Structure 1
Amino acid sequence: MKTEPRKCRRRKSRASERKRAKSSSLKWKLFRAKEPLLSVFMWGVNHSIDQLMHVPPPGLLMPDDFKAYAKDIMPSHYKVKEYCPNVFRNLREQFGVDQYEYLRSLTSYEPEPEPVEGSKGDFFFSYDKKFAIKTMDSEAVAELHSVLRKYHEYVVEKQGKTLLPQYLGLYRLTIDGSETYLIVMRNVFGRKYNVHKKFDLKGSTVSRAASDKEKAKDLPTYKDNDFLEQNCKLHLPAEAKQQLLEMLASDTAWLSNMHLMDYSLLLGIHDCDRAAAEAASKPLEQTSEESADELAPTPPDSPIPSTAGAFPAISGGPDLDDEFYAISSSSNSEKPLVYFIGLVDILTYYGMKKRTATAAKTVKYGSDAENISTVKPDQYARRLVEFITRSLS
């Protein structure tokens, strides 16, 4: 039997290497964005999901899965590190997020930057508004790692029905030697309904009002004192009201057990009558363009049905399919509304730094100290639940 000359084999090997390099280069061009960070992120998500789709999910997550990571080195020395890929794949399943949906939303079009008032990181949103991508510092990443196993256990126990942030993927991107951490979450405000008013609520009334600069914005983020001054009430059906309080009590109790505090309840309000009037006043040409924008690429048929929300749907009410955090207002509301309610920014540990801040503010505010934002986790949780309970109608 004849064997190929070594020289010929080397030539073929080089040719195959050039072919692979060319293929990699072509793949890279598919994910160009306005800035390298997003290009690398899109490439990383695409590569990660592609790899996971060729490997069956483990029947049971092991302790090592919560320490695992996958590394990819890209052209021009760009790097992507995905943390705990099997854990986040399982979390996506628990939250009803299909792999194809995740891939399409984050890579079909470039995520768009959007400033978020009071956020400790930069925000980007997928083109279809389903997912939020947030930059994190190393301290927040370490805190997420420290609670990830308990977080996963809690999500499984609640079968994904929780107001906690839905953590769907964690990545570290290295660009020209600079590292950036990104966390992917479900967007609390959903995608089909514009939010006309929003609040960041902590249950605290000390220094908790939007600034004049913030109020001058088209869509300001109001706070607790603004909520009270505007005499806001949440008009919810009885079943949804009970479910909201049960979920909030359970979630905040879990956060307290994890010694986490300084989180917020994010509230968005969609006014159905206002939305109808806005739609009627739009030129026909603009409406047609927006309808065309919705004709985005569709993934193959998903084995997972459209995501059921955390709250029961109302017969004859707005279509809240795939709007996880949405609740329709009750029939006794003055006008038809859709509320979006979820917990955000949960990764602040009540350690020495926060204890010191609590002591300093207690001295400063005296008898009003119980209303400051920096208090012990159990007190923080109880106060927020009480604030929301009083707001229900």
Structure 2
Amino acid sequence: FFISLDLFTMFMFYEVALIPMYLLIGVWGSGNKNYSAMKLTLMLMGGSAFLMLGLIGIYYHSAPEGQPLTWNILEIVENESISLGWQKFLFPMTFVGFGVLGAMFPFHTWSPDGHASAPTAVSMLHAGVLMKLGGYGCFRVAIYLMPQAAHELAWIFIILTGISVVYGAFSACVQNDLKYINAYSSVSHCGLVLFAILMLNTTAMTGAIMQMLSHGLMTALFFALIGMIYGRTHTRDIREMGGMMQILPYLSVCYVIAGMASLGLPGLSGFVAEMTIFVGSFQHTDLFHRVFVIVACSSIVTTAVYILRVVGKLLYGPVYDQHHLSLTDAKWWERLSTATLIVSVACIGFFPNFFADLIKFTFSPEIFTVLGLH
């Protein structure tokens, strides 16, 4: 999907990535897995239907009249054959089609239930990789191929993604299930990716890509740690756990580091990604953009609230279940996997210029010309 320059091939692999999720959750999941799998399937298939219509429309307007039609992204951009009227019609279809996978409000509801019912490895894969298809597709297809409509209609989706950022953070504050907390956190952080892409400047878009990298690593770390804790305690309810720092010190410290990355502690990936997004977004001088940037910035405070709430309830205080005192800390393979993710998160935080330069290098001059970026 990520390396494809052909829209048909891209759509095919988009579906190949999504369809197995029904079986992975419905067969091997836990809790209300059948409901979650069906909800995920219906929501994502609905998004796929919008996307398919949008891609077919792009294909039939991919070349000037009389010339052969094409699925190739680069040829479509070169032809500049999609009129503004058709762009305004096709842009919402493709953006919503990809945005559903990016957990864009109000099409986000599949994500928390899907994450909560999925096995640990599936949650890591889904949040860490598959949800990035949404942000990449919105940029690579919707915005890149229909830049005029993106400039004119971005305000609609800025409102929706701004709601995603704030709503996801506030929803995480009232959850008691560790997976639901992380799932709603993902709604907020992935909403920030789409929010930044819609700002249509290179600084914000660079931040969006860094946020995709950051979120993919730290949410995979979160889900891995939640799975390890659940495998020992057999519960994900933070009201039934406490004092884990004295029982599982290694896993607890890893959880604190993941939480600090999520709330944007300097020196970790979350800080550089979110700061780049907010700095780039604030380059717009009009009232509408700046109001929504401030609203999105408020999610930092809300994120700190739910992260510190979980850390306080889960890791500190008294041990509520005396059976937890006999639990053993992480094995060597668990330490290796979590340490690898933590080092990756720290590398982005300590060496952001390396990653920012690498991202900007991939923005070819043609992209600047097409999008009118500065």
Larger helix proportion, structure 1 or 2?
A: 2
Tell me the TM-score normalised to structure 2 length.
0.25
> Which has more radius of gyration?
1
Larger strand proportion, structure 1 or 2?
A: 1
